[in-house]
A and B are shown apart, each in its own frame.
Chain A
């Protein structure tokens, strides 16, 4: 369970952005999490209230967008999702591919008043 430490890092960063932009309050934080990231979205949501407790983000909503684990097949150059296709290209059955996305853990944006 490493989500809490990471979410506390997110909260610190957002507070820093909010302060430097002189925001009174933040309505929503939007995170992007890749399917191959070691961060589990439900755990992030579960520990989020603890991370914002007593901060200016106490009432801020958390929104999570999932980014797909997509790879480019080196044989047929098609894009496919490696989780859904068990790491094998569904078009030509090759298992030689390069990862395009899926490991991200990004603070995408904040929506503020």
Chain B
């Protein structure tokens, strides 16, 4: 996701990379070698790299355990929890499902899910706006993945930060709801570029909003040519069969290979 190498100097010509005191120091010092009392230790490590390593590790373990983890992201109020309830209703007789609800505060979503009889855990991020791989691992430990086929992480409602951090999920999904507007792929390009599937929720309300479905599809595909786009209504059930088919196929493929 992030590019870890510093661009060669000629690529910096359009940039803002000003020489710093450190740069000057480097002209006189060989990196890592003593000169006077100071030395420079080159680290060159992407800060996200540690999270990426943890995420890959978690993915491998889940693969071994045959647990398909889906990371579900969206802005607040797009209908993540309602969509999950629909999804559970459709799939609960064929899969063991566990849900992790991540929020800054409260446990209202976990209560809603618990009413379906599904295994659920509420995670509090303590003000953090996203979950990373380590927090996801803690959540899975708390949920207990024994005999689980499908684990779904309902990430913090936010279209910005969750896109930056790999949680270790097998697949990433996002919900965009009609009232949010068709300009969201333009405003939050990273989110749309990292997800495998985009659910367009509240499609039953499309006549009441200036929402251009074709424009959203075009904008999302420009960022992410392989994205699967499914219009749904968690309220009426429209599109839920297509969505659960997608999920069923992905989970099957994950647990077979």
Residues of A within 8 A of B (CB): 1-2, 5-6, 9-10, 13-14, 17, 21, 23, 27-28, 30, 32, 34-35, 37-38, 63, 65-68, 70, 79-81, 84, 99-113
**Chain A neighbourhood of B128, CB < 8 A:** 2, 5
Of the candidates B4, B10, B22, B41, which one forms a contact with A104 in the assembled complex, judged by CB atoms under 8 Å apart? Answer: B4
Contact A34 B13 (CB under 8 A): no
Contact B25 A9 (CB under 8 A): no
Residue B91 interfacial (CB < 8 Å): no
**Chain B neighbourhood of A102, CB < 8 A:** 3
Instruction: Report how far A79 CA is from B15 CA in the complex, Å.
Output: 10
**Chain B neighbourhood of A84, CB < 8 A:** 14
Contact B20 A65 (CB under 8 A): yes
For A84, give the chain B residue with the smallest CB separation: B14
Instruction: Kindly specify which of B45-53, B113-121, B225-233 makes contact with the partner chain.
Output: B45-53
Counting from the closest, the 4 A-B pairs by CB-CB distance are A68-B15, A81-B14, A101-B7, A103-B2
Most B-side CB within 10 Å, residue of A38, A106, A110: A106
Segment 34-51 of B: residues with Cβ below 8 Å from A = 37-48, 50
For B49, give the chain A residue with the smallest CB separation: A106
A27-B38, A63-B21, A106-B45 known; 5 new pairs, CB 8 Å cut-off, are: A10-B47, A23-B41, A79-B10, A107-B44, A111-B40
Instruction: Report how far A14 CA is from B128 CA in the complex, Å.
Output: 22
Residue B129 interfacial (CB < 8 Å): yes
Of the candidates A38, A110, A113, which one forms a contact with B43 in the assembled complex, judged by CB atoms under 8 Å apart? Answer: A110
Contact A6 B47 (CB under 8 A): yes
For B21, give the chain A residue with the smallest CB separation: A63
Known interface pairs A67-B15, A68-B12, A79-B13. Does A99 touch B3 (Cβ–Cβ under 8 Å)?
Answer: yes
Of the candidates A9, A35, A106, which one forms a contact with B44 in the assembled complex, judged by CB atoms under 8 Å apart? Answer: A106
Residue B11 interfacial (CB < 8 Å): yes
Of the candidates A35, A38, A110, A111, which one forms a contact with B164 in the assembled complex, judged by CB atoms under 8 Å apart? Answer: A38
Instruction: Report how far A113 CA is from B37 CA in the complex, Å.
Output: 6
Give 1 or 0 for each of B46-62: 1 = CB within 8 Å of chain A CB.
Answer: 11101000000000000
Known interface pairs A2-B161, A70-B12. Does A105 touch B48 (Cβ–Cβ under 8 Å)?
Answer: yes
- A65 to B: closest C-beta gap in Å: 6
- B133 to A: closest C-beta gap in Å: 12
Contact A32 B14 (CB under 8 A): no
Instruction: Report how far A51 CA is from B39 CA in the complex, Å.
Output: 24
Instruction: Report how far A108 CA is from B12 CA in the complex, Å.
Output: 17
Of the candidates B14, B37, B130, which one forms a contact with A68 in the assembled complex, judged by CB atoms under 8 Å apart? Answer: B14
Known interface pairs A84-B14, A106-B44, A107-B45. Does A2 touch B129 (Cβ–Cβ under 8 Å)?
Answer: yes
- B34 to A: closest C-beta gap in Å: 10
Residue B141 interfacial (CB < 8 Å): no
- A66 to B: closest C-beta gap in Å: 5
Contact B47 A70 (CB under 8 A): no
Of the candidates B2, B38, B161, which one forms a contact with A113 in the assembled complex, judged by CB atoms under 8 Å apart? Answer: B38
Residue B16 interfacial (CB < 8 Å): yes
Contact B2 A34 (CB under 8 A): yes
Contact B47 A106 (CB under 8 A): yes
Most A-side CB within 10 Å, residue of B1, B31, B38, B47: B47
